[in-house]
Amino acid sequence: MRIGELSRRTGVPTRLLRYYEEQDLLHPERADNGYRSYPESAVADVQQIRGLLDSGLTTEMIRVILPYLSGPGELHPPAECVTPQTAALLQGHIDRIQTRIDCLARNRDRLTAYLAAVRPDASGSDRR
């Protein structure tokens, strides 16, 4: 499929698809006329890349682990393929995610307490 079709099927702009190629995340073939040609599997690959980016991974991190992904949500790298550098990179990302989760939980709890203080009769429904 051509880049426009991949864009339509994934909802990812063609400009970003080209960027993923520049970052060595996508590997389309080139037709004689220079057009990119993507296999059907590129749809799942782009969805995988988007999910990893949305989770906060950088393109550098994704480039390292992408060869070991077997599908969205599944990671099966053989243990011997995970270098200490890759493990440290991933652990650092896990630590940053946990910090964000902790911050969000604190903010949620503070907002919940505030709402309970200003609307003590609020039990999830408006009574009139």
Q: Are 17 and 7 in contact (CB under 8 A)?
A: yes
Residue 84: predicted pLDDT: 87
Residue 72: predicted pLDDT: 53
Q: Could you tell me the two tokens for 68?
A: 């070991």
Mean pLDDT by 10 residues, the chain (128 residues): 96 96 94 91 93 87 79 62 81 88 96 91 54
CA 41 to chain centre: 17
Residue 123: predicted pLDDT: 55
Residue 55: predicted pLDDT: 82
Residue 10: predicted pLDDT: 96
Other CB atoms within 10 A of residue 26 CB:
20
Give 62-109 as a 3 state SS string: HHHHHHHEEECCEECCCHHHCCHHHHHHHHHHHHHHHHHHHHHHHHHH
Distance from C-alpha of 45 to C-alpha of 72, rounded to nearest angstrom: 9
